[in-house]
Amino acid sequence: MTADTTSVLNGEQVAPTFRVLLVDDHALFRDGMSRLFSYEDDFEVVGEASSGEEALELARALIPDLVLMDIDMPGIGGLEAIRSLARELPIVTVVALTVHEDDE
């Protein structure tokens, strides 16, 4: 079930489930986010990626409702992956998450 549909089960409306793809090069962060989403009935983590390249592959295959994307990753970074997703899969919502250390 995708986020844009509501179904009826045994005469009761069932809230839509948002399918989420987590993208971050740090496995610990992805694990933590996945655990947080596991407490929410209306979110389902359908995949995890550790690079922009992997994110694009999984997004094309899974068509998630939401992609949580780190910006700073090796290889294709998050910004380039977001641009590609916007062109290829405009129905997918992307939220950029990042931690940036300032040397100053």
Confidence of residue 104 (pLDDT cuts 50, 70, 90): low
Inside any domain, residue 52: yes
Instruction: Encode pLDDT of 6-38 as tens digits.
Output: 556 566 766 679 999 999 999 999 999 999 999
Q: Which pLDDT score is estimated for 11?
A: 67
Query: Residue 19's closest CA among 2, 41, 37?
Result: 2
In contact, 73 and 25? CB cutoff 8 Å: yes
Torsion of CA 40, 90, 24, 70, to 10 degrees: -100
Inside any domain, residue 88: yes
Inside any domain, residue 40: yes
Inside any domain, residue 74: yes
Q: Provide the number of structural domains found in the chain.
A: 1
Containing domain of residue 74, as a range?
19-97
Inside any domain, residue 56: yes
Query: Residue 70's closest CA among 25, 36, 21, 20?
Result: 25
Inside any domain, residue 13: no
